[in-house]
Structure 1
Amino acid sequence: MPGEHARIQVVKTNKDYGYAKILERTETSPDRVAPPCPIFDTCGGCTIQHLAPDAQLAFKRDIVRHALTRIGGLDATDTAPTLGMTDPWDYRNKIQVPVALQNGAFAFGFYRKRSHAIVPMEHCPITDPLIDAIVQTARQIAEEKGIQPYDEQRHRGSLRHIMARIGKQTGEVMVVFVTKTDDLPFRKAFIDGLTSRYPQIKSIVHNVNNRRTNAILGKESRTIWGRDAIYDKIGGITFAISAHSFYQVNPSQTEVLYKKALEFAALTGKETVIDAYCGIGTISLFLAKAAKHVYGVEIVPEAIADARQNAERNGITNASFEAGKAEEVIPAWRAQGIAPDVIVVDPPRKGCDAALLDTMRAMQPQRIVYVSCNPATLARDLKTLTADGLYQVKKIQPVDMFPQTTHVETVVLMSRKDK
C-alpha cells in the first residue's frame, strides 16, 4: 500500500508497467490495519480492507486526481476530499453467491480473484447482516435437501446462484434462486424454511439461466412466493426493485452522491434537464423535484418501464422517459426543439459514447454534471469536453460508494465559459 517498501521479484515487464511478487515487506505503513474478514486475502473483493478508513478516503481522492491529471491533462489540484461513511461496513443491500460443484462437493462462496474457484464464505462484513444470514439459511436448506449444484465444466446440475436484496429504509427482502433447470428443486422447502424464519421476506423469485455464461441472471424470472418487487426509499422517493432492476448497492451513499449532483446542477425550478443513462430514474426523480422538466434516456427498455412507474408512484409529472441509445435519442430531442439548460450523465464504466459527447457540446447547456464510476474514462471524456475551450471543470467531488474496495464514484461540475 502507499508508503510501504518491499523486496520483490519481477515476473513480467511491459513497456509502461510490470508485474512482481512481494517477497518481503521491509517498511510497513502506519495506515495498515488488521482486516476483520477471514477470507480477505483469498476472496479478492475488498482489496483495501487492510487500509485504515481515513487513509482509504485519501487514497481514493488520489486515484481521481491522478487519473484526471495523467489521462485528462486537467488541473485536479482542487479535488475535494472524498465523502465517506461514518460506518463503512454492512452497507451492501444485495448479495449474490455462486453455488457450484467443486472437487465433487457442494461449494458456496465467492469467486477467487481472476478465477471461478469458489472461496467458502460464512459471513460477508460489507453486506447487510440480515440478507447475509438469509443466504446462509438458504445454503443450509440446499445442502440438507441434497440439491445438485451447478457444474460449470459439464454444464450440468441445477442451483447456480442464491441472491438476496433488501430495502435498507423499508426492511423488505427479496430472495432469488438461479437455476440451470426449468424447475426449482425443493421449492416448498425453500419457501417454508425461509418465510417461517424471516418475516422480512416479501418476495421469492425463481430465475432460469440455462446458458453457458458468466452472467448471473437469465431472462426468465418467476415469482414463486409473495410480490414481484420490493420497495425502498432514497431521499423520500420510493423505488420498486425487481430481480432484474439496477439499483445502487449502497443507498445511503447514493443519497450523498445524488444530493451532490443536485447541488452541482444548481436548479431553480426553471430549467430543462436531460438525464442520460437514467436507469430506473433514480437521479431523474431527484432532479425533477427542483427542475421545470427532466428528460431521461436509457438503452434498457425494462429500466425505462421501471422509471415511468417510479415517477407515477411518487406523483412526479415533470419527468419523461424514452428507451434507446442516448447518442441517438438526445439528437432527436434536439431536433424537436428541446434545449437543455443542464445535462446530467451517469454512464457505465466504459464512459460516454463519443457521439453523445459531440451532441452535448453541440447543445451547449449551461452546465454538465458528470457522475462517474470509473476515473479513467471520466478523465478521457472530460478531456474531450474541454478540448475546444467551451467548457471548464469547476468542481470535482469523489464519493466513497464502495468502502473497503478500490472503487470510487466522482461527481464533476462543468460550466460553459460564457456563463
Structure 2
Amino acid sequence: MKIMRELSGKTIRPKCKYYSECGGCQLQYLSYEDQLVLKENQVKKLMGNLCDVNEIIGTESPYRYRNKSHYTFGKNRKNTIISGMYAKNSHSVIDIDTCIIQNENSDKIVQTIKSMMKSFKMEPYNEDSRTGFLRHILIKNGVNTGEYLVVLVVGDKVFPGKKNFIKALLKKHPEITSVVLNVNNRRTSVVLGDYETTIYGKGFIEDILCGKRFRISSKSFYQINPIQTEKLYKKAIEMANINKDEIVIDAYSGIGTISIVAADYAKEVIGVELNRDSVRNAISNAKINKVDNVYFINQDAGEYMVKKSLKGENVDLVIMDPPREGSDENFLSSVVKLSPKKVVYISCNPETQERDVKYLIKHDYKIKEIQPVDMFPQTDHVEVVTLLVKE
C-alpha cells in the first residue's frame, strides 16, 4: 500500500536479521510509535470522511505475540534440510531459526524437529516430485494455559518410527500436550489437508480469553494475538451496548469466542458459521463455559438471516467478522433485510470494510464510531471495529 511509506524518513534498523528477505513484517523499519501513527492515518484516510476515527489501541508487547506459528520445510542447494518462511512473492523457503513475532518456544520446537529428521529418516516433502514426508509444521500455543499443539503436515499417512519420534520430541519438550498428523499431498498453497489423525494427546489445546475457556484444534480459527483480542472484544462489546433484552447474531462465528463473551450481556446469542469443525468446537466451548443462552448453527450466515427476516423474526444486533476479502453483496443485503438496530463490523482489512459499510450507509445505516486496534505489530495490517446504527 502506497500510504505505508509516508513515514519512511524516520526509519530505524529492523530487529530481525531476515527482514529484507522474508517480507512477513513490512513495518520493522519504523519504531512502534510510528507504526501506530501510520496505521491510524491509514484508517483516517479511508474512513475519516464517514465518521471521526478514534485513537488506535496499541500494545505493550509488539514482539513475540503470535500464538500460531507456521514453518515450511525444504532443502537448500547443498541438500541440507531447512525450515522457515517463503521469501517475498515466491515459493522459495528461507532458512529461519527464529521469528521475532512468533512464540519463542515454538521456534525451539521446530529447530528440535529439524535436528531429529536425519536420524528418523524424514525427508522434506517436494511439491513438484511429490516425494518426501514433512511439508509444514503448524504450532498453536495457549498463552494463558501453557499448552502446545504441534501439527505435522506430511505427504503420507505412513509414519515409520512414529512412537519413538514422539517419545524423543516429548523428552526435549514436555510442554507439548498434543501432536496431530495432517496429510496434504496436493499441489496447493493451502497448508492443511483434509485427513488428519491425533498421534499424541487429545488433538486440541485450550486457552483462556476474556475469562472464558476455549478449545482450539488444528483447523479452527482463533485470533493470533490474545492480548489485543481481549482489548478488541472489550471495545466491540462496549460499542454495541448490549442489554439483557437483546438478541444478537454473531455471523462468521468461528469457534464461538465473541458469541460466548457477548452472551454475558445479551438475552440470546446465535452464532452462525459455515465451517463444520468450527461449529463443533463452538458447541463444546459453550458447554465448557456453561453458557446456556448461546446457540450455534452450521449454515451460511447470509442465508440464515434472510430466512429469519422472511419469518418476520427480529434481532437487535449483528456482529460480523468476515475474512480479509470482506463481505459480499448477498450477505450485506441479508443484513439489510433482517434490519437489526445495530451492526458491529470487525475487520482485518479497512479497505474492504470501507466498501462494505458504504453499502450499509446507502440502506439507512449510520456510522457512530470507528476504532482501530493494532492486532499485528510489525506488519501493515490493522484491525478496525465500526459501529453502525439503523437510522
Instruction: Name the TM tier (shorter chain).
Output: over 0.9
Q: Equivalent residue of 1:92, what SS? A: coil
Match of 1:89 among 43, 63, 71: 63
Corresponding residue for residue 375 of structure 1: 350
Question: Which secondary structure does the structure 1 equivalent of 2:245 belong to?
Answer: coil
Q: Give CA-to-partner distance per residue, 1:244-284, whole Å, 9 cap, x none.
A: 11111111111111111111110121101111111111111
Shift of 1:154: 1.5
Q: Shift of the alpha carbon at 1:80?
A: 1.1
Who is 1:229 aligned against? 204
- Tell me the secondary structure at the aligned position of residue 116 of structure 2: helix
Asked if 2 retains the 8 angstrom alpha-carbon contact of 1:173 and 1:201, the reply is yes
**1:338 Cα shift?**
3.0
Change (3 A) 1:408 1:143: farther
Match of residue 93 from structure 2:
118
- TM-score with structure 2 length normalisation? 0.95
Counterpart Cα distance in 2 of 1:99 and 1:350: 28
Q: Does 1:307 align with 2:282?
A: yes
Residue of structure 2 in register with 1:257 after alignment: 232
Deviates more, 1:318-327 or 1:189-198: 189-198
Structure 1: runs of 5 or more not aligned: 5-27
Rounded to whole Å, the distance in 2 between the matches of 1:46 and 1:157 is 30
For structure 2, the 5+ residue unaligned runs are none
Structure 1 Cα separation of the partners of residues 127 and 238 of structure 2: 47
Q: Does 1:100 align with 2:80?
A: no
Asked whether 1:198 is paired with 2:173, we answer yes
| Match of residue 17 from structure 1 | none
RMSD over aligned Cα, in angstroms? 1.5
What is the alpha-carbon distance in structure 1 between the residues aligned to residue 293 and residue 31 of structure 2?
Answer: 44
C-alpha separation in 1, matches of 2:24 and 2:282: 30
After superposition, residues 270-281 of structure 1 pair within 5 angstroms as: 270-281=245-256
TM-score (norm 1): 0.89
Equivalents in 1 of 2:173, 2:165: separation in Å?
A: 12
Q: Is the 8 A contact 2:372 2:384 kept in 1?
A: yes
Distance in 2 separating the partners of 1:409 and 1:190: 40
User: 2:46 is aligned with what amino acid?
Assistant: A
CA distance in 2, matches of 1:337, 1:170: 44
- Count of aligned pairs between the two proteins: 387
Q: Is the 8 A contact 2:184 2:192 kept in 1?
A: yes
1:57 aligns with 36
Aligned residue runs from structure 1 range 10-29, under 5 A: 29=9
SS across alignment from 1:119: strand
The one-letter code sitting in structure 2 at the alignment partner of 1:47 is: Q
Aligned match of 1:177: 152
User: What is the rounded CA distance, in whole Å, between the counterparts of 2:159 and 2:40 in structure 1?
Assistant: 46
For residue 282 of structure 2, give the secondary structure of its aligned residue in structure 1.
Answer: helix
% identity of equivalent residues: 40
CA distance in 1, matches of 2:108, 2:161: 20
Distance in 2, Cα, partners of 1:399 & 1:265: 16
Distance 1:344 1:322 in 2: 15
Is the 1:371–1:411 contact (alpha carbons within 8 Å) kept by the matching residues of 2? yes
Residue aligned with 2:177, SS: strand
In structure 2, C-alpha distance between the alignment counterparts of 1:364 and 1:329, rounded to whole Å = 13
- Output the CA distance in 2 between the equivalents of 1:138 and 1:323: 37
Alignment of 1:161-172 (within 5 A): 161-172=136-147
Q: Which amino acid aligns with 1:374?
A: N
2:115 equivalent to 1:140: yes
Q: Which has the larger radius of gyration?
A: 1
Return the offset for 1:51.
Answer: 0.8
Alpha-carbon distance in structure 2 between the residues aligned to 1:322 and 1:109: 38
Please give the alpha-carbon distance, in whole angstroms, between the structure 1 residues aligned to 2:160 and 2:232.
Answer: 42
Q: Deviations over 1:61-97 (max 9, x none)?
A: 122222236xxxx434x21121111121111111110
Q: Is the deviation greater in 97-106 or in 369-378?
A: 97-106
Aligned with 2:26 (options 47, 68, 71): 47
- Indicate which of 30, 35, 42 corresponds to 2:14: 35
Q: Tell me how far 1:185 sits from its aligned partner.
A: 4.0
Match of 1:298 in 2: 273
Kept after mapping to 1: 8 A contact 2:155/2:184: yes
Matching of residue 209 in structure 1 with residue 165 in structure 2: no
Q: Are 2:59 and 1:80 equivalent residues in the alignment?
A: no
Q: Is the 8 A contact 2:112 2:169 kept in 1?
A: yes
Cα distance in 2, alignment partners of residues 371 and 173 from structure 1:
28
Residue matched to 2:323: 348
* Code of the aligned partner of 1:43: C
Q: CA deviation at 1:405?
A: 0.3
Deviations 1:336-357 (A, max 9, x none): 4431111111011111121221
Structure 1 CA distance, aligned partners of 2:175 and 2:6?
Answer: 46
Partner Cα distance (1:3, 1:62) in 2: 10
Give a deviation string over 1:319-347, Cα, whole Å, max 9, x none. Answer: 11111111111112233443111111101
- Residues 307 and 254 (structure 1), Cα distance of their counterparts in 2 relative to 1, 3 Å cut: same
